[in-house]
Structure 1
Amino acid sequence: MTVPKAEPQAHDRRSLHERIAADLRDDIMTGELPPGANLPSTAQLRSRFDASNATVQKALQLLKEERLVVGRAGAAVTVREHRQRTIRPAGSLTPAAPGEPSPWLAEAAEQGTDARITLLGVTETVPPADIRTALGLQDGETAVLRSQLLLIDDEPAELVKSYYPRDIADGTPLMEPHRIKGGTATLLRHLGHEPHRCVDRVSARVPTQEQFEALRLPGSLPVLCTLRVVHAADGRPVEATSMVKAGHLYELQYEFGPE
């Protein structure tokens, strides 16, 4: 009997400073190096990775550009506070109370951050194929697009593109070039399309040029993409939203139990 040959082991072709940054990034994201903690000293990193001082400094510079750590040459390098944010999707379906801000703004305030939403534009457009499928639109059929940039402490956090069927959006504030008080979940509820269920599809992708520039990404790190489809109680999809975040700064937390 012929024994199949073992597959050759894959070799990490990244440069040494990129590999060092990757391992330190993982220590930060897993909490091994929590916010406010000092990174190991340059001497310790040189020993751990069998690297030169210049290579270690290049690795640390990558992490600084990614907004994960702060520090200067000759001083301790520290993990930034709020270096990783946890998003809880279920909260986005909760309509805001009268006079209260949207759930996203309210949660950011509870975490002690200064959050704001910039409306980039409101247009009528033919959505991408995945959005058309999600909303049940025909090829060439248009929808209303609301584009927004979410910022935390003046840093871009998320690029959001929300699409609405024309018959739902026509003649409503969804068509107007203004922020919607309380968020769209509150407005949809008032329009008789109360969000009842949402379905998320999450993927990691290489950022597009638009995403790279809008989020001020530091390099070739992936982005975390969520396509969320919101359904009313009758099952009709009433909103489809593309949400893009820097993959190295965010995680999603889903909570569920037995039905």
Structure 2
Amino acid sequence: MTVPRPEANDVDRRSLHERIAADLRDEIMSGDLAPGAGLPSTARLKERFDASNATVQKALQLLKDERLVIGRAGASVTVRDHRQRTVRPASYMAPAGSGAPYRWLTEAAGGGARAHSTLLEVAESDPPADVAEALRLPTSGRVLLRRQLLMVDDEPVELVASYYPLEIVDGTAMTVRRKIRGGPPTLLAELGYPPRLSVDRVSARVPTQDQYQALRLPGGLPVLRTLRVVYSDDERPIEATVMVKAGHLYEVQYEFTAD
């Protein structure tokens, strides 16, 4: 049997050290190389990938830059603890209880991490086209933008831009540049717009310049972009949020029940 020759588009055009890093990255994210586990020795990696010592070291440096592994030249390299985090969108939908912190902070701290948010901007804004469509805005409709950076253990993990119809939030505490106890979902519920349905659209994208800098991203790895639209009674959209996080550090978990 003749094996067909690969087409030009089928060839992996990445350099060898990038391909080695990609295979090891996949093993780390899938758990084959667990937190605290040592990576194979340089000698074994050279044999496995038919690569030089310098090429293997370049691959390992990529993983170090991505904060997936730790180690130094001449020493063993190990997988960092608690690097990949699982995001469960259903955990964040309900408003926080009276006086309770924002649910995202509670969920992140549940794993023993120190979580906090930095409010970057609160202003009227022209929304992106997909946000305007999700909120069913009229042509040239404007929204209130609240943008923040979420941190875990002093590392930036998610850039969040939330958009609200002005007719709902105008004149409320939402328009003031300060944090809201319990987060916007709690205030929206108090205003008579409790969340009833949340719809996520998740895509992998090349980060923008702003996202690259804010999240301190390494190299050219993609980000996970989630457009979340929250609906209240009568299927009225009350919030559209764009959340961006490093694609190599997170996975998203959705849970469904069979009807």
Give the TM-score range, shorter chain.
over 0.9
**Aligned counterpart, 2:200:** 200
Cα deviation, 1:112-168, whole Å, max 9, x if unaligned, reads 101110000101011010000000012211100000000111111000000000011
**Aligned counterpart, 2:161:** 161
Kindly state the Cα deviation for residue 233 of structure 1 after the two structures are TM-superposed. Answer: 2.1
**1:203-218 pair list within 5 angstroms:** 203-218=203-218
> CA separation in 1, counterparts of 2:65 and 2:198?
35
> CA separation in 2, counterparts of 1:105 and 1:96?
11
**Aligned counterpart, 2:143:** 143
| CA spacing shift, 1:76–1:93, aligned 2, 3 Å | same
- Secondary structure of residue in 2 paired with 1:117: strand
**1:162-241 pair list within 5 angstroms:** 162-241=162-241
- Secondary structure of residue in 2 paired with 1:104: helix
> CA separation in 2, counterparts of 1:185 and 1:256?
23
- Under a length normalisation based on structure 1, what TM-score does the superposition of the two structures give? 0.96
Query: Aligned pair 1:28/2:33, yes or no?
Result: no
Query: Aligned pair 1:51/2:82, yes or no?
Result: no
**Aligned counterpart, 2:98:** 98
Kindly state the Cα deviation for residue 6 of structure 1 after the two structures are TM-superposed. Answer: 8.3
Superposed structure 1 runs of 4+ greater than 4 Å apart: none
The CA RMSD measured in Å over matched residues stands at 1.2
Contact 1:92 1:185 in 2 (8 A): no
Q: Letter of the aligned partner of 1:189 in structure 2?
A: A
Cα deviation, 1:25-45, whole Å, max 9, x if unaligned, reads 000010000111111111111
- Secondary structure of residue in 2 paired with 1:234: helix
Q: Letter of the aligned partner of 2:69 in structure 1?
A: V
Kindly state the Cα deviation for residue 110 of structure 1 after the two structures are TM-superposed. Answer: 1.1
| CA spacing shift, 1:35–1:7, aligned 2, 3 Å | closer
Identity %: 64
Kindly state the Cα deviation for residue 211 of structure 1 after the two structures are TM-superposed. Answer: 0.6
> CA separation in 1, counterparts of 2:110 and 2:207?
30
Structure 2, unpaired ranges of 5+ = none
Q: Letter of the aligned partner of 1:82 in structure 2?
A: H
> CA separation in 1, counterparts of 2:168 and 2:192?
10
**Aligned counterpart, 1:60:** 60
| CA spacing shift, 1:56–1:7, aligned 2, 3 Å | closer
- Secondary structure of residue in 2 paired with 1:224: strand
**Aligned counterpart, 1:88:** 88
> CA separation in 2, counterparts of 1:209 and 1:203?
18
> CA separation in 2, counterparts of 1:91 and 1:191?
22
> CA separation in 1, counterparts of 2:5 and 2:34?
39
**Aligned counterpart, 2:76:** 76
> CA separation in 1, counterparts of 2:37 and 2:139?
52
**Aligned counterpart, 2:7:** 8
**Aligned counterpart, 1:39:** 39
Q: Letter of the aligned partner of 1:233 in structure 2?
A: D
**Aligned counterpart, 1:121:** 121
Structure 1, unpaired ranges of 5+ = none
Kindly state the Cα deviation for residue 258 of structure 1 after the two structures are TM-superposed. Answer: 2.1
Kindly state the Cα deviation for residue 73 of structure 1 after the two structures are TM-superposed. Answer: 0.8
Give aligned pairs, total.
Answer: 255
Q: Letter of the aligned partner of 1:8 in structure 2?
A: E
Q: Letter of the aligned partner of 2:15 in structure 1?
A: S
> CA separation in 2, counterparts of 1:59 and 1:36?
19
Cα deviation, 1:164-205, whole Å, max 9, x if unaligned, reads 000111111110100111111111111100000011000000
Kindly state the Cα deviation for residue 7 of structure 1 after the two structures are TM-superposed. Answer: 7.0
**Aligned counterpart, 2:251:** 251
- Secondary structure of residue in 1 paired with 2:234: coil
